[in-house]
């Protein structure tokens, strides 16, 4: 892949907002998708007071707010909650990790690696120059994250040994967990030396081989890592290895309104935003889990794994995006409610051919045109 980016990367953050058709859009990085209750409460209040009353979950396990009335007030609020630990590095703190790691399944617990990597990235001044689309991935061995094609990643083979993943390709280089973060930072530095105007490692000509050479490794790489067949949102009631309960909840179009977020924060348990725009609530006893389902299901949190809403994603569409040819979310809602979806199975509705927000999976594209919608069956 040899894509030359003629414009500087303008990926939004909490400080560098994007001027969308409906107003400023601000994005908050959540390494590993992790949110403490007080942080979720702060985001809920910000969405209500300075945003449009909703939060959008992203495919990188982050959260963004639209129509932000005062970006400076927003930044100050999230900083007070520990969600803006570095003004210089805030856009490059993109770290995806297996959401269930350490609690259910997997061969390694990568939660501490998330924290170590995040701190290391922030403490390295040069890495502030990484594009905002840079993505680190930490897969605990179950195969749910490496296949999302980050730039620099680890794939666990055991609790202490991981293979290096570059541009979504697994190499045969094994690294001990104690040396893993320095290796990832070394790969990121190599990319800075190689990137020219490119935004992603996969765009650099021979980028994987040149990165391996820059690191002084003799590693080889095979084809792209495929997602595990069962990779995707974990929905409903899940038993953790310590006997407590995790709840996975889906959201229509990944939209979390402020009131529901405040109820989630009031549970006072750890929350993780997943790359599938769903929410995980952890460490509940059975009684509390039952109460959460009773209260939050009527408010819009989807605990039914067979819900048709879990198969439908959509870009912002009109009126939020000036490039969109249709109000795709309104049209998709009507199609679901009337049982008239244009195709069965997973599908992504988009207002133009850019297909923003499209998940990386086998998904049909439902694209708005000047003459209705066009359905593309693809396997991306």
The encoded tokens of residue 68 equal 């932000």
194 half-sphere exposure, CB direction, 13 A CA radius? 23
Give the C-alpha separation, 267 to 101, whole Å: 21
CB 343 within 8 Å of CB 336: no
Give the C-alpha separation, 362 to 118, whole Å: 31
Output the pLDDT for position 5. Answer: 62
Give the C-alpha separation, 183 to 180, whole Å: 5
| Angle value at C-alpha 9, between 256 and 61, nearest 5 degrees | 25
Name the residue among 354, 275, 366, 370 with its Cα closest to residue 378: 366
Any bridge partners for residue 54, and if so which? 257
Provide the H-helix boundaries in 157-205: 177-194
| Angle value at C-alpha 271, between 245 and 287, nearest 5 degrees | 30
Give the C-alpha separation, 26 to 58, whole Å: 12
Output the pLDDT for position 320. Answer: 86
Output the pLDDT for position 379. Answer: 55
Output the pLDDT for position 359. Answer: 81
Q: Give the other-Cβ count within 10 Å of 306's Cβ.
A: 9
Give the C-alpha separation, 365 to 4, whole Å: 26
Q: Which domains does the chain have, with CATH numbers?
A: 309-377 (3.30.413.10)
Q: Could you say which residues of the chain have pLDDT below 50?
A: 1-4
Output the pLDDT for position 174. Answer: 94
Output the pLDDT for position 4. Answer: 45
CB 187 within 8 Å of CB 164: yes
Output the pLDDT for position 293. Answer: 98
Q: Give the other-Cβ count within 10 Å of 330's Cβ.
A: 12
């Amino acid at each position: 892949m040899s894509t030359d980016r003629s414009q500087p990367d303008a990926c939004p953050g909490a400080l560098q907002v994007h001027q969308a058709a409906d107003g400023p859009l601000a994005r908050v990085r959540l390494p590993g998708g992790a949110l403490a209750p007080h942080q979720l409460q702060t985001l809920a209040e910000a969405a209500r007071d300075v945003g449009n009353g909703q939060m959008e979950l992203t495919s990188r396990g982050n959260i963004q707010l639209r129509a932000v009335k005062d970006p400076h007030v927003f930044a100050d609020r999230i900083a007070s909650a520990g969600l803006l630990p570095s003004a210089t590095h805030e856009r490059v703190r993109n770290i995806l990790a297996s959401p269930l790691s350490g609690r259910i399944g997997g061969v390694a617990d990568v939660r501490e690696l998330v924290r170590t990597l995040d701190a290391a990235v922030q403490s390295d001044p040069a890495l502030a120059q990484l594009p905002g689309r840079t993505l680190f991935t930490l897969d605990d061995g179950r195969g749910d994250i490496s296949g999302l094609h980050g730039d620099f990643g680890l794939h666990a083979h055991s609790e202490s040994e991981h293979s290096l993943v570059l541009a979504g390709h697994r190499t045969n280089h094994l690294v001990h967990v104690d040396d893993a973060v320095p290796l990832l930072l070394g790969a990121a530095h190599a990319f800075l030396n190689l990137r020219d105007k490119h935004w992603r490692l996969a765009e650099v000509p021979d980028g994987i081989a040149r990165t391996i050479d820059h690191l002084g490794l003799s590693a080889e790489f095979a084809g792209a890592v495929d997602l595990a067949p069962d990779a995707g949102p974990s929905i409903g009631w899940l038993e953790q290895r310590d006997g407590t309960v995790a709840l996975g909840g889906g959201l229509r179009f990944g939209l979390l309104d402020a009131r529901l977020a405040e109820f989630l924060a009031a549970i006072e348990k750890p929350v993780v935003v997943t790359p599938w725009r769903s929410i995980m609530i952890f460490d509940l006893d059975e009684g509390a889990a039952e109460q959460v389902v009773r209260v939050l299901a009527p408010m819009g949190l989807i605990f039914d794994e067979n819900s048709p809403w879990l198969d439908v994603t959509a870009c912002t569409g009109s009126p939020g995006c000036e490039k969109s040819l249709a109000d795709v979310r309104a049209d998709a809602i009507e199609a679901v409610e009337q049982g008239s979806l244009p195709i069965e199975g997973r599908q992504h509705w988009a207002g133009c051919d850019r297909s923003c927000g499209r998940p990386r999976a086998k998904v049909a594209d439902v694209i708005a045109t000047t003459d209705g919608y066009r359905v593309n069956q693809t396997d991306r």
